[in-house]
Amino acid sequence: MNIEQLQYIVEVAKYSSLTIAAQNLHVTQSNISQSITNLEKELGIKILKRSRGHGAVPTDEGRIILKLAYEVQKKLEEIKVTANLLNSTEVGELKISSLPGLMTFLVKAIASFRHDYPHVNLEVADKSGSAVIGDVRQHKTDIGLITYSSDLNINMEGIAFEALIEGKQKVYVSKHSPLAILGTITPHDILDQTLVTYKGEFMQYFVQDFFQKYKPLKILFTSNNMDGVLQAINENLAITFAPDFVMKNYPLIINGDIVPIDLVYHPTVNISLGLVRSENKHLSTFANKYIHYLKSEIIKN
């Protein structure tokens, strides 16, 4: 028994035809026929029943053998892929900067990239939005992931921004809060609430603008630790504002322990999740490939 014989029976069974199988595999029909006959003699069973009217169809015993042959072919493909990766000479580095709250978008893409390019050194840094932009501008990092709004007064000179997701600012409350049953929330509904805020440029801008339009809310604390922010909301100690794309992948939101609610009768704030890169630096092959993985993961979600 050899690999070619298994390949022959799989291809013949797929098309119920020795002729088509021979054409696909670039061998003669007699070669395939003789090879299958030799395999059947070796195994002592009939794998394919051949007739003029019905072509070549598997016997009951043949279906069992074909299933195993399919599995062998799949394993052979895995061996080839693994060998190609082990023999890969593609080495290099890729540096990414991101807001801490956006790491959930990066992780799955990193895993896929790492699988295909195991010899590339990958470095990810958590920084503020302005620091991410600064690193990209100074070529300290290849690409950055930030939240961006045209309402923010951010210096984007020399920076190219590509929006990946358009988001919506929402209010997040504990499922135990009386607000959780509301379908929408107006600013006046939350003026007596305590606020916990994530320490980021966009969030600080939004909160200060909100305070100026209405009145200042009590602030429990401000932190760049999202776990702490989420814990305070989950325990019904405070509420927060946040873009929907930042929050939707956290387990507390997925499980319904924290409830997102639309904010209405408040000026719409345009906010995007996107990539930043330098306009003065050519992206490396690895950066372009990682961006491809990142966009694929975002589309899946």
Query: What are the chain's domains?
Result: 3-86 (1.10.10.10), 92-165+272-300 (3.40.190.10), 167-270 (3.40.190.290)
Closest CA to 9 of 64, 54, 52: 64
Angle between helix 3-15 and helix 60-86 axes, rounded to 10 deg? 120
Is pLDDT of 184 > 90? yes
Please name every residue paired with 56 in a beta bridge, in sequence order, or none if there are none: 50
The answer to pTM > 0.95 is: no
185 vs 263: CA distance, rounded Å: 5
Q: Which residue did the predictor score with more confidence, 300 or 264? A: 264
Is pLDDT of 267 > 60? yes
Q: Are 53 and 60 in contact (CB under 8 A)?
A: no
Closest CA to 205 of 157, 150, 156, 249: 150
84 vs 80: CA distance, rounded Å: 6
Residues 166-176, mean pLDDT to the nearest whole number: 94
User: Given the DSSP bridges, would you call strands 194-198 and 271-278 parallel, antiparallel or unpaired?
Assistant: unpaired
Closest CA to 239 of 180, 165, 161: 180
120 vs 76: CA distance, rounded Å: 26
Residues 20-40, mean pLDDT to the nearest whole number: 91
Distance set, CA 251 to CA 103, 175, 225, 290 (Å): 14, 14, 16, 26
What does the pLDDT read at residue 236? 97
pLDDT band at 55 (very low <50, low <70, confident <90, very high): confident
Q: pLDDT exceeding 90 applies to what percent of the chain? A: 49
Q: Encode pLDDT of 98-150 as tens digits.
A: 987 777 788 888 988 888 888 888 899 988 888 999 999 998 999 999 988 87
Distance set, CA 157 to CA 31, 74, 141, 161 (Å): 67, 51, 16, 11
Distance set, CA 130 to CA 98, 101, 145, 258, 276 (Å): 10, 15, 11, 29, 11
Lowest average pLDDT, out of 152-156, 210-214, 223-227, 238-242, goes to 152-156
